[in-house]
Amino acid sequence: MGSIVYFVRHGQTDWNAEGRLQGQADTDLNDFGRAQATRNGELLRTLVVQPEAFDFVASPMRRTRETMERLRRAMGLPAEGYRTDERLVEVNFGAWQERTFAELETVDPGCFARREEDKWRFVPPGDGAESYEALTRRIRPFLEGIAGDTVCVTHGGVLRAIFSLTDTLPPEECAALQIPQDRVLRLRDGRLEWLS
């Protein structure tokens, strides 16, 4: 792939700040997250010389769409000039969504330790729940289908999958990777690099 892709994780939400598992729950940015989105857009403005030549794509969730709209405005672009792709939604945490690990431990003692034994392949309980390994199967066609320079706003789990799909890190390291909300991740010539 000869294209340049700039990946941005959505800005902080109150649930991020509380350590609450969001997954596919549709939450909103908080004020700190809105400022992060704007700062990422200001950085992208210095990196993207011809934005009209870029595809802009986001997960359809509210927190990613608001992040995209804020970063586009910071780039000097109209907020609405992007598309969404369902494949970019966050990993599904099933019955664990909307809870913190402290809350989960009260109803299912040891659940956190069981997850840590093989975090990459672990599937939480509940309908539709996914492992990170399953998430990579959903993300692979998106990544392989990128046909030109792109700005993509998505989620932490999706970016962990991208680290695995680009052979940047082994899966077990990808599962534990901290994904910042205040930096831009560039994919160029098959290599990922954090920019700030």
Known binding residue 155? Answer is no
Is 86 considered catalytic here?
no
Catalytic-residue membership of 90:
yes
Query: Pick the catalytic residue: 10, 69, 130, 155?
Result: 10
9 known member of a binding site: yes
Would you say 14 is a known binding-site residue?
yes
Quote the distance between the C-alpha of residue 56 and its chain's center: 15
10 annotated to a ligand binding site: yes
Q: What is the DSSP letter of 29?
A: B
- Find out whether 40 is annotated in a ligand binding site: no
Among residues 90, 130, 133, 155, the one annotated as catalytic is 90
72 is an annotated ligand-binding site residue = no
Bind-site residues for substrate: 9-16, 63
- Annotated catalytic sites, by residue? 10, 90
- Residues at the binding site are 9-16, 63
